[in-house]
Amino acid sequence: MQNTWDVIVVGGGTAGLPCAIFAARRGAKVLLLDAADKLGGALHLAQGQLSAAGTKVQKARGISDTPDEHFADILRISKDTVNHPLVRLAVDNAAETFDWLMDCGFEMVPEHPVEGRAHEPYSKQRYYWGVDYGRSLVKVLVAQVQPEIERGAVTLRLSTPVEALDMENGTVRGVVVGKGDAREVIRGRNVVLTCGGYAANPEMFSALNGLPLFGQGAYPHSQGAGITLGLSAGGYLRGAQSYLSNFGVILENDRYPSPIFGRFNTYPNQRQPWEIYVNTHGRRFIREDEPSVDAREHALLAQPGLRYWIVFDESIRRAAPPQMADRTREDIAALFDRHPMFVKADTLAQLAARMGVPAAALADTVATYNRGHNDGRDALGRAHMPRPLSDGPFYAVKHQGTSVTSTVGLAVNHVLQLIQDNGAPIPGIYAAGEILGAGQLMGSAFCGGMMGTPALTFGRLLGDKVLQFA
């Protein structure tokens, strides 16, 4: 058995790094363990959108904003489906986290903050991106932890997954790393689980979310190890009722989880739709120019298999702006000859057969849409209808709702201590980050920045204020 650490941080990513940095600055002897061979976790892949109200950047730009307004926006966007105390803790402390990042040299996109991009907009400009997405955050966090490692306050062990917790009479005393002869028990006064979500683990994803993991977009080490560890300590899970997928991506193939190929631009505020969206029954399910991204996502949630086809004809293909931001019209046309998610046919009936949807339903859907176009009155209320779908060949591109983050997470109390289902804290163990699940912080919605910012903030709070050392 090894010596006792003040804090054992399990996972050196978004939440774990600030925890280790701030605990070390308070004089703690910190052990930082990570399963990966590098620090930074999901931030290497993430967009890294953050949200914080009352920041120095906002004040400098004359934007008046408060955590109360941020909280009210989250209740509005999530339709009050979030965990109030956790969201309160996150928004009340987000500005201090963001200001700290800026003081450390975080490179923000110069025209930010903005009200929103990708998700339902906030009522205030409180949305910040790094110039290099999540990697801008990795740069800052690694630069801050490095001196702590060099002066010996933080001991870092990479490629060291925690396999189990060391427990004694219901108290967490440390962690176990290595297996067989290499098995090591490491003791610590505080164990902090910051080892991320489970969105790269198809079995856990389907067990907790009740549907398959269709796409592979999560950090490969997001295997849900922390969920297993937390449950083994007596913790329990929250948020299962809140699953929501994005509005669809194009997968490489039908073998789940499949790599993600790309997506059509389905944001009407960036590109008005010329196409129609058709579910596996061959029916439209939303007005394609629905302005609310949340409404579009919830409409997709109700569709079989969380999938739909984007359908158009030759005249639209020729006239509409390209549907993919990074490809020309010709690049996209070429995909219909080689990509399994892009199908093309001379007639609608043949197209339906290639899509695997009922031909009569697709014919009726297109005829109804065309009538609506001619009458200027769409059955689903769509306003932007530049052309009917009448000239073959016809085209369809399959889109699949999927997730890159975890909805379900461990229950914690107001100081981020793991709790049992009777509310009693489990001594010696805390949790922060995606391990708490999107369902608690964003409810049944995507609230901009409300995964990355709470992860950073809760990690900071644990290291700076919550954890008690000898």
Torsion region of 217: left, alpha or beta (phi above 0 gives left; psi -120 to 50 gives alpha): alpha
Question: Applying CB under 6 A, does 82 fall inside the site for ligand FAD?
Answer: no
**260/353 with CB nearer ligand FAD:** 260
Among 11, 248, 257, 428, binds ligand FAD (CB under 6 A): 11
Among 6, 7, 13, 467, binds ligand FAD (CB under 6 A): 13
Among 6, 8, 14, 81, binds ligand FAD (CB under 6 A): 14
Question: Applying CB under 6 A, does 95 fall inside the site for ligand FAD?
Answer: no
Residue 300: CA count within 13 A, CB half-sphere: 27
Question: Applying CB under 6 A, does 126 fall inside the site for ligand FAD?
Answer: no
Pairwise CA distance, residues 150 & 153, whole Å? 8
Where does residue 16 rank: exposed (0-12), middle (13-18), buried (19+ CB within 10 A)?
A: buried
Sign of the dihedral defined by the CA atoms of residues 156, 161, 166, 167, in that order? positive
Pairwise CA distance, residues 336 & 343, whole Å? 6
Question: Applying CB under 6 A, does 290 fall inside the site for ligand FAD?
Answer: no
Q: What is the CA 225 to chain-centroid distance, rounded?
A: 18
Pairwise CA distance, residues 362 & 280, whole Å? 10
Question: Applying CB under 6 A, does 18 fall inside the site for ligand FAD?
Answer: no
Question: Applying CB under 6 A, does 194 fall inside the site for ligand FAD?
Answer: yes
Question: Applying CB under 6 A, does 10 fall inside the site for ligand FAD?
Answer: yes
CA R_g for the chain? 24
> Rounded to the nearest whole angstrom, what is the least distance from the CB of residue 332 to ligand FAD in the complex?
23
Binding mask 212-241 for ligand FAD (x = CB under 6 A): -----xxx-xxx-x----------------
Question: Applying CB under 6 A, does 341 fall inside the site for ligand FAD?
Answer: no
Strands 162-168 and 215-216: unpaired
What is the size of the binding site for ligand FAD (CB under 6 A)?
42
**41/463 with CB nearer ligand FAD:** 41
H or E segment to which residue 145 belongs: helix 134-150
Give every CB contact of residue 391 below 8 A, 6+ residues apart in sequence.
313, 314, 315
Binding mask 378-407 for ligand FAD (x = CB under 6 A): --------------------------xx--
Give whole-number Cα distances, 410 to 96, 224, 428, in Å. Answer: 25, 11, 15
Among 6, 288, 434, 464, binds ligand FAD (CB under 6 A): 434
Pairwise CA distance, residues 83 & 419, whole Å? 15
Q: What residues numbered 159-178 form the site for ligand FAD, per CB under 6 A?
A: 161-162
Question: Applying CB under 6 A, does 41 fall inside the site for ligand FAD?
Answer: yes
Question: Applying CB under 6 A, does 48 fall inside the site for ligand FAD?
Answer: yes
**173/221 with CB nearer ligand FAD:** 221
In the numeric block, which tokens belong to residue 448? 């901009």
Among 67, 116, 437, 452, binds ligand FAD (CB under 6 A): 452
Give the binding site for ligand FAD (CB under 6 A): 10-16, 33-36, 41-43, 45-49, 161-162, 194-196, 217-219, 221-223, 225, 404-405, 433-435, 449-453, 455
